[in-house]
Amino acid sequence: MGKLANDRAPGSPELPAGGGKWPTRAVPGLTVRKAMEIPALTGARLLAGENGLDRVVQRANIMEVPDILPWVKPNELLLTTGYPLRNTPQGLPGLVAELDARGLAALGVKLHRYLDALPDEMIDEADRLGLPLLLLPDAVGFDDILNQVLTGVLNKQAAALERSWEVHHALLSVVLDGGGLTELVTKTSAVLGVPIMVTTADGRILAEGGNVDDLASWRHTPCFDTSGRFRTEYEPGGVHSHVDVPGRHAVVSIVAGRVDHGRIVAFARHRALDDADVNVLERAATVAALAVNKQLAVTAVESKYRGDFLRDVLVGRAGDRDRIVAHCESLGWDVGRDLVVVVAELDPESGPAGPPGPQLRPVQERFTVAWQTVVGRRDPRAAVVGFAQEVVALLPVGSRLDPESAVREAVRQVAGDGGGGRRSFSTGVSRVVDDPARLPVGYEQARRAVDVGRQMNGRGSLAHFDSLGSFRLLSQIEDREELRGFVRETLHGLAAEDDPEMEDLRHTLKVLLDTNLNVAEAARQLHFHYNTLRYRISKLERILGPFTTDPELRLDLALALKVLQMRGIG
């Protein structure tokens, strides 16, 4: 018995915030680096801001008015002369900071008419901020630069739109021809030339395409947790780079209407991802939403049929063994082998509501998908069905992996290290079932293990039926007041849970009972001197009675301590 499925992690120690101040995603445009290759700017000299050459230029403007700040627009290549700068050279570093704050892509300056040189402080500030500062040749007219930059931007946008439309039709044909997410990501990967993954909203991989070795290497980066889940809670939409992750990756949400169905993610180790790549991913995400909705519609019908039959099996209404095995075979399940029944229930919700935005699919539906994904990856012929309040899985057990380890690993992967905003859940496991006709017994055992495990360990418990012991009997007593009365009458003053001294004495009593009143062993476990423990025993007997000589009293005390251990009863 233990506690594995936890609430969301408070933060990520491995991944820093990604994306940077200048995310690549934007309306298609030229980077400053590309803009400097146009004929009119071939003679321009970069004075500062080399780190900002990947900023996107979407427009160009000429301004020679004294006050240029109110007219500056984001992603703009601003062309000016020394005229606006001539009277305030001491304030030019501040001007650079203001231009950067307004999202300027680059600043091009012509000198010699009003200003012979830009001050070093201005150049240093532009370099610090990564704002490209260009010294323009005198022989080139502003109108030539303006026309050529705008032409380049329009050509870039037109090419991006044309490519996006072609990609959209190609991807849409995949779905119309009956393909699913796997075919979709394979096609998208071929278009972009990089590995692609589709995940659920909380990061579970649904499909992937591209080079297998590349995909495997990305799954070992800090973008993924130890359960193999993509950490969507730390990866908002857009292009990201992290110091401890090679290359770049782009993330786009798959949203249909107001429902968030997941993410499509592209990984590039050896090239940059730009706005055109993100545009392709957005097209793919739109088509993926169609594929997901189509699959959901089919799955809903299949799930109801499968669920109805499995429920008949679990309540003993499905017929004899041969009929159960044969019908399960037709559903793709193998139940003619040693199994354990696993019942998983979401814990009662607590805490504030999530942030506004696209709505997630119903929580029980997402919980079911998580179990089906994890179990299906391990054994596609294992039955996993979601009901209104629980998920039931029939997990095979073999000689290489004992039942406890198999279930613990499945629970760990479904929990996904507590990330992504998922609800915690409790899990119960039956004894090994070696005959399909005994599945109803196993189901009841697993359900009992869920209830008792949650009472014993709280939220996120994992309990095996065989480990419940006397708790199985205590949990069936519905009169909670009778249990509380038994605790008070048996433990007397030790029943006070808000008294640290009584809590310490209860712990001493428990160790004594667990060691069968072996004072030497109990003293060793408690790190007490032998005489100190003898004194405590005398104190306990004054409160409880002669438990060292009365076996019936010892039994009552042991039961009372177990009742106190059960949550919400003592």
Residue-range domain boundaries for the chain? 30-153, 178-296, 316-350+358-473, 477-565
Per DSSP, the residues of 270-339 read SS---HHHHHHHHHHHHHHHHHHHHHHHHHHHHHHHHHHHHHHHHTT-S-SHHHHHHHHHHTT---SS-E
C-alpha dist (Å) from residue 482 to 10, 66, 249, 493, 560: 40, 86, 60, 18, 12
> What is the pLDDT at residue 251?
93
Say which CATH architecture domain 30-153 belongs to. Answer: 3-Layer(aba) Sandwich (3.40)
Model confidence pLDDT, tens digit, residues 245-287: 888 899 999 887 777 888 999 999 888 887 778 888 888 888 8
- pLDDT interval class at 11 (50, 70, 90): very low
Instruction: Write out pLDDT tens, residues 49-107.
Output: 999 888 888 888 888 777 788 888 898 988 888 777 776 655 788 888 889 999 999 99
pLDDT score for 131: 92
Q: What is the pLDDT of residue 361?
A: 64
Is the pLDDT reported for residue 470 higher than 80? no
Residues 302-319: tens digit of each pLDDT: 778 788 888 999 988 888
Residue 456 has pLDDT above 50, yes or no: yes
Q: pLDDT band for 408, please (50, 70, 90 cuts).
A: confident
Segment 525-555, tens digit of pLDDT: 888 888 888 888 888 888 888 888 888 888 8
Least confident stretch, 5-19, 207-221, 280-294, 402-416: 5-19
Are 359 and 255 spatial neighbours (Cβ–Cβ below 8 Å)? no
Q: Identify the CA nearest to 390 among candidates 338, 428, 430, 349.
A: 428
**How is residue 439 annotated by DSSP?**
H
Tell me the HSE value of 295 on the side-chain side, using a 13 A CA sphere. Answer: 14
Q: Which one, of 123, 132, 116, 46, lies nearest residue 83 by Cα?
A: 116
**417 pLDDT band (50/70/90 cuts)?**
low
Question: Confidence band (pLDDT; 50, 70, 90) for 478?
Answer: low
When pLDDT is averaged across residues 487-513 and rounded to a whole number, the result is 85
Q: What's the 3-state SS for 378-438?
A: HCCCCEEEECCCCEEEEEECCCCCCHHHHHHHHHHHHHHHHCCCCCCEEEEEEEEECCHHH
Q: Give the CATH number of domain 316-350+358-473.
A: 3.30.70.270
- The predicted pLDDT at position 87 comes to 61
* CA 422 – CA 201 distance, rounded (Å): 10
Q: Please check whether residue 281 is in contact with residue 24, taking contact to mean a CB–CB distance below 8 angstroms.
A: no
Q: Which pLDDT band, with edges at 50, 70 and 90, does 473 fall under?
A: low
- Residue 451 or 420, more confident: 451
d(CA 194, CA 277): 10
Q: How many Cβ atoms sit within 10 Å of the Cβ of residue 14?
A: 13
Q: Does residue 66 contact residue 84 with C-beta atoms inside 8 Å?
A: yes
- What is the spatial distance between Cα 441 and Cα 407, in angstroms, rounded to a whole number? 18
Tell me if 233 sits within 8 A of 241, measured CB to CB: no
pLDDT for the residue 401:
57
Return the amino acid letter for 509.
L
Give the range among 187-191, 313-317, 451-455 with minimum mean pLDDT: 451-455
Region of poorest pLDDT, from 182-191, 276-285, 468-477: 468-477
The topology under which CATH files domain 477-565 is: Arc Repressor Mutant, subunit A (1.10.10)
According to the model, what pLDDT value does residue 344 have? 92
- pLDDT tens for residues 115-148? 788 888 889 999 999 999 999 888 888 888 888 8
Residue in the structure block whose two tokens are 């709280």: 458
CA distance 25 to 279: 8
For the record, the structure tokens of 406 come out as: 């198999």
Q: What is the CATH number of domain 178-296?
A: 3.30.450.40
Whether pLDDT at 198 is above 80: yes
- Is-contact 119 91, C-beta < 8 A? no
Structure confidence at residue 5 (pLDDT): 46
